[in-house]
């Protein structure tokens, strides 16, 4: 199955219009996807994307195009037969590597291509991605992972043993997922740009829908945060509350600020400070226990995650399917997290991230076991209507997807409307609200 064409699209959705997605660091995101269609000679397509929040999305598109020659002309069979070798070739181009390595725009582009290839593979196999992963033998799964730079904490042999040791109970866990789905939490109630009344009414609506866990954005004003936490606690009672600061604080400031909110009993504080500050996160985690520290949406590769775990800096691991270098690198992080006993609660929202990460969490639970209720997948209620196979949510849980692929295909008419800057939305409607 020869790959003959890669078509890229710069897709931007005008979420800044109603401040959906607004937080202390990002007041006006336009959720965007640098999207790639990977076409085979037979006319099949793999669909992949990375996620950005607007301006600069074109840089990711250009980086995908720079990597495209490494994919063109290869067959899907030769890629997946030695997927770790292919992954290494894609990330180790001696000139392109200078742009990262394995971070920033070039790694976001890697994610788009690699995820598109997994989508294609799953479609060819006629399985949803999570099922493709679950059905791979431990030996085959290990062969997709590049263990370079993580062997001091996890060698391929150790990873194999880990997968085999968690083998018992897989069939029961798969049945459990198919029956009940996987737990989620909602971030839709507490964007920073929302009024008190809107937060209160969204909490009530979410409770009616059966949600049990709620995340609130904090970090702009302590008085305001106290007021908003009080509103949410009043509405949700004893249910789970998480807080997310989106990197706005200094290390000591984070400790003081969260201590001032401790009375509201949050489960975790997410991204309290700069995502590269491993020791800062460790210091915050130590000072705030039993409140946990969560991070990962901007932890950009397996080597960084390795060090966060080594430093005991994370209570919850929030992998991002479009920030790590696609499924292969996510698998590496899931295995290291399992070794350190840190639950994985993926970052989602944006555009299409919910569609992606549901597969990864389902695989994580079935293959690696442990308590299901500790794994909560983020859920945000926008932009799902643009996907051919959108997520299905019921009573605060993701239902296991059944369509073949990685749920990453965007509808043709959405691509036409939201391609930037010449799609029909940006050409006409956009002018009327931006001018």
Binding site for Mg ion (CB under 5 A): 244, 270
Q: Which is nearer to Mg ion, 270 or 355 (CB)?
A: 270
Shortest reach from residue 130's CB to Mg ion, in Å:
23
Q: Closest residue (Cβ) to Mg ion?
A: 244
Q: Which is nearer to Mg ion, 183 or 346 (CB)?
A: 346
Shortest reach from residue 24's CB to Mg ion, in Å:
10
Cα–Cα distances in angstroms (integers) from residue 194 to residues 20, 59, 217, 290, 340, in the given order:
8, 31, 10, 29, 37
| Residue 172: half-sphere exposure toward Cβ, Cα within 13 Å | 7
Q: Which is nearer to Mg ion, 68 or 351 (CB)?
A: 351
Residue located via tokens 């997310």: 244
Determine how β-strand 32-40 pairs with β-strand 45-52: antiparallel
Q: Which is nearer to Mg ion, 294 or 393 (CB)?
A: 294
Q: Which two tokens stand for residue 128?
A: 């949803």
Q: Which two tokens stand for residue 207?
A: 């409770």
Shortest reach from residue 105's CB to Mg ion, in Å:
20
Q: 327-340 and 302-310 helices cross at what angle (nearest 10)?
A: 10
- Is 384 a catalytic site residue? no
Shortest reach from residue 349's CB to Mg ion, in Å:
8
d(CA 345, CA 353): 13
Smallest CA-to-CA distance from 302 within 156, 153, 133 is with 153
Q: What is the DSSP string of 160-200?
A: HHHHHHT-TTHHHHHHHHHHH-EEEEEEEEE-TTS-HHHHH
- Answer whether 375's CB lies under 8 Å from 422's CB: no
Shortest reach from residue 190's CB to Mg ion, in Å:
11
- Is 217 a catalytic site residue? yes
Shortest reach from residue 342's CB to Mg ion, in Å:
17
Shortest reach from residue 33's CB to Mg ion, in Å:
18
Q: Which is nearer to Mg ion, 202 or 348 (CB)?
A: 348
Of residues 39, 347, 359, 386, which has the active-site annotation?
Answer: 347
d(CA 403, CA 217): 33
Q: Provide the 8-state DSSP code for 421.
A: T
Q: Which is nearer to Mg ion, 68 or 317 (CB)?
A: 317
d(CA 299, CA 283): 17
Smallest CA-to-CA distance from 349 within 13, 84, 106 is with 13
Q: Which is nearer to Mg ion, 146 or 244 (CB)?
A: 244
| Residue 74: half-sphere exposure toward Cβ, Cα within 13 Å | 19
Shortest reach from residue 293's CB to Mg ion, in Å:
12
Q: Which two tokens stand for residue 33?
A: 């996807």
SS3 38: strand
d(CA 334, CA 332): 6
Shortest reach from residue 299's CB to Mg ion, in Å:
12
- Answer whether 262's CB lies under 8 Å from 291's CB: yes
Q: Which is nearer to Mg ion, 264 or 425 (CB)?
A: 264
Q: Which two tokens stand for residue 73?
A: 């002309």
- Answer whether 258's CB lies under 8 Å from 271's CB: no
| Residue 131: half-sphere exposure toward Cβ, Cα within 13 Å | 17
Q: Which is nearer to Mg ion, 29 or 100 (CB)?
A: 29
d(CA 61, CA 323): 14
Residues involved in catalysis: 217, 347
């Amino acid at each position: 199955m020869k790959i003959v064409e890669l078509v890229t699209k710069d897709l931007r959705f005008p979420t800044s219009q109603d401040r959906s997605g607004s937080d202390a660091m990002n007041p006006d995101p336009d959720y965007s996807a640098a999207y790639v269609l990977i076409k085979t000679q037979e006319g099949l397509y793999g669909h992949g994307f990375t996620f950005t929040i607007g301006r600069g999305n074109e840089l990711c598109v250009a980086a995908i195009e720079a990597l495209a020659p490494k994919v063109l002309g290869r067959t899907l069979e030769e890629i997946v037969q030695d997927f770790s070798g292919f992954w290494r070739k894609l990330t180790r181009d001696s000139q392109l590597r200078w742009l990262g390595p394995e971070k920033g725009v070039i790694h976001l582009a890697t994610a788009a291509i690699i995820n598109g290839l997994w989508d294609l593979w799953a479609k060819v196999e006629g399985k949803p991605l999570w099922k493709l992963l679950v059905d791979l033998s431990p030996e085959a799964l290990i062969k997709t992972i590049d263990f370079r730079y993580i062997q001091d904490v996890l060698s391929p042999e150790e990873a194999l043993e880990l997968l085999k040791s968690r083998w018992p109970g897989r069939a029961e866990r798969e049945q459990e997922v198919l029956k009940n789905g996987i737990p989620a939490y909602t971030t839709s109630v507490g964007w920073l740009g929302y009024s008190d009344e809107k937060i209160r009414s969204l909490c009530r609506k979410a409770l009616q829908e059966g949600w049990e866990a709620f995340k609130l954005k904090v970090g702009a004003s302590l008085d305001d945060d106290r007021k908003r936490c009080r509103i949410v606690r009043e509405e949700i009672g004893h249910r789970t509350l998480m807080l997310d600061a989106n990197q706005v604080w200094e290390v000591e400031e984070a400790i003081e600020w969260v201590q001032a909110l401790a009375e509201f009993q949050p489960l975790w504080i997410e991204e309290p400070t700069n995502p590269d500050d491993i020791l800062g996160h460790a210091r915050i985690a130590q000072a705030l226990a039993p409140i946990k520290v969560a991070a990962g949406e901007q932890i950009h590769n397996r080597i960084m995650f390795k060090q966060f775990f080594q430093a005991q800096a994370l209570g919850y691991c929030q992998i991002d399917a479009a920030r790590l270098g696609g499924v292969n690198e996510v698998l590496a992080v899931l295995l290291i997290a399992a070794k350190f006993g840190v639950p994985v609660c993926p970052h989602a929202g944006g555009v299409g991230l919910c569609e992606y990460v549901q597969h990864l969490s389902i695989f994580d639970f079935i293959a690696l076991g442990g308590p299901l209720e500790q794994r909560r997948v983020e859920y945000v209620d926008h932009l799902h209507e643009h996907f051919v196979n959108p997520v299905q949510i019921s009573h605060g849980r993701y239902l296991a997807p059944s369509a073949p692929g990685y749920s990453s295909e965007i509808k043709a008419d959405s691509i036409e409307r939201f391609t930037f800057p010449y799609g029909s939305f940006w050409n006409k409607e956009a002018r009327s609200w931006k001018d």
